[in-house]
Amino acid sequence: MVQARPQSTVEAAVRPIRKRPRPLPWPLSLYQAYVGKKWVMAITGVIGLVFIAGHMFGNLKLYMGAEEINHYAEGLRTVAYPLVPEKFLLWVMRVGLIVAFVLHVHAAYSIWSHNRKARPTSYASKRDYIAADWASRTMLWTGPIILLFIGFHLADLTWGVNAVNPDFVHGEVYDNVVFSLSRWPVATIYVVANLALGIHIYHGAWSLFQSLGVNNPQINQGRRIFAALFALAIVAGNISFPLAVMLGIVE
C-alpha cells in the first residue's frame, strides 16, 4: 500500500487511472480486480463452450430425421423426471447459462472500458502487430455480434416470436428449423454469426488457459491446437445446418 508521502515531480505527473475499490467480502473481492474478472470470464467461457458443444452435438440429430430431434428436444425437458419436476433441470441449466452469460458480458464490458482509459491517446502511426492476431483483436466485435445473434436465435427458434419466425409451432423442432433456415437472409445470418462465434472461440478457448493460469510446458503447445480444433468443429457443425437446409439435404 502506497502511503501519503512527498512526491517528486516525476511521480506526481502520473495519476492512477483507477481508484482501488474498497474490498468486498470474499468471493466478491475476486471480481473487483481485472485479473479476477478475466478469471470469471474464463470460467464462464468454459461454461459457454460446454453448452455450445452440447448444443451443436444435439442438433446433429437433425440429420437423423424429424422424429429423432423432436424426441431429443422433448427429452431435454424431462431429464431426471419424475425425480425432479419436469423442466427443472432445464431451468437450472438455463439459469446457470444466463448468469454465466451476464457475467461474461459484464466482465468484458468492464475490461473494455478500463482498457480504454489505459490508452486514451492511440498511436498516430500505423501499428504493426506480430502476435496479436485478428481473432484476439476482434473479440470486441465478435462478442456483440454473438450477443445480437443469440437474441435473434432465441426469438427465432425458442420463443417463436411472430415477427421473426411466423411459421413457428411449439414442439415441432424439425419443421421450425427447416422453415426458418430455408429463408436465405436467415441462413446468411446463421452462417455469419457462427463464423464470428468460431473466431471468438479460436481466441477464447486458448485465452482461458492463460487467464486461469493453466500453464505447463507439457500442454502449452496443445492449447492453441485445442482452441483451433474446437472452433473448427463448432463452426463446421453449426454452419452445416443452414447449408444443409439451403442445399435441400434436410427438408
| One of 22, 126, 247, 251 touching other proteins (CB under 8 A) | 126
Which of 11-19, 61-69, 185-193, 240-248 is the region at the interface with other proteins (rule: CB under 8 A)? 11-19
CB of 236 to other proteins, least distance (A): 25
Which of 50-58, 128-136, 142-150, 152-160 is the region at the interface with other proteins (rule: CB under 8 A)? 128-136
C-alpha grid cell for residue 75? Answer: 427429452
The kind and range of the H/E element at 145 are helix 139-153
Residues 14 to 43: which contact other proteins by CB under 8 A?
A: 14, 16-20, 26-27, 29-30, 33-39
Residues binding other proteins: number (CB under 8 A): 61
31 versus 72: smaller Cβ distance to other proteins? 31
**107 close to 40: Cβ distance less than 8 angstroms:** yes
| One of 83, 124, 163, 247 touching other proteins (CB under 8 A) | 124
CB of 38 to other proteins, least distance (A): 7
In angstroms, the Cα distances linking 83 to 47, 71, 73, 77, 91 are 25, 20, 19, 13, 15
**Separation CA 63–CA 240 (nearest Å):** 10
Q: Give per-residue burial for 223-233: e unless 16+ CB within 10 Å, then b.
A: beeebbebbeb
